[in-house]
Amino acid sequence: MVNRNDWFEDVQKNISDLIAKSPAADIERNVKAMMAQTFTRLDLVTREEFDTQTELLERALGRIAALENRVQALETASRVSGTAGDLDA
């Protein structure tokens, strides 16, 4: 008696071979090529590229916020020292 798993594997292999030799395989390749061309024309990016750019943007925004705080502190210190200088004169 043939083992059930062997029988299923044979059927699956036969179906895979049939599909590979049928026009369905050509259609699948053509559709993939067409989609790749369309995606290229749309100027899409991969998820990895998007995530990388998101991380860079977050770091840049953090640096900008730190610089804004530093400029504000320097302006405040400048005003305070300017006012103290006026009192000495």
CB atoms under 10 Å from CB of 24, counted, come to 11
Q: Enumerate residues 6+ apart whose C-beta is below 8 A from 19.
A: 25
At residue 2, what are phi and psi to the nearest 5 degrees? -80, 135
What pLDDT is recorded for position 87?
Answer: 53
Predicted TM-score (pTM) of this structure: 0.48
Per residue of the chain (89 residues), give pLDDT as tens: 456 677 778 888 887 877 777 777 778 788 888 888 887 788 778 899 999 999 999 999 999 999 999 999 999 999 988 776 555 54
